[in-house]
Structure 1
Amino acid sequence: MFADDFDPVAALAAETCPRCHSVGLTNINSETYEASSEVDRHPVKFTVCPSLYARCAACGLVGEWPDMSNP
């Protein structure tokens, strides 16, 4: 569980995309993640529970955050 004072929107906004290196990820739901193409999915390297589904607005890469923060 995240800490009570954790702001996921702010944390994602400060993250860098591992594919295009632009700053700023947005939170998405699981349906959006599942609907994305395999090419646009960040490969899962490890599982963190809980995690958030996130997307890069610049290149469309989706993945589980914070796993996406470790390219």
Structure 2
Amino acid sequence: MTRERKFTKEELYQTTKETLLEYSYAGFTFRIVAERLHIARGTLYKYYENKDELITDYMVDEINHFLIEAPISKK
């Protein structure tokens, strides 16, 4: 039996975005993200080995949203 996540992907990515904007890459830690999501830091390590993996997934998601929402120019 698998456990349910205590947070959604959207909540995780929003928290990642806010943390990056506030602390920059150098100050970004799983501890900060976990505190903001009210979870144990170890919970994040179940899904990501390190902050680079999480930030990369977040950035890919942002790029995908941008590409979907970007208007297509007709020439």
* TM-score normalised to structure 1 length: 0.27
Q: Which structure shows the higher helix fraction?
A: 2
Determine which structure has the larger strand proportion and give its number. Answer: 1
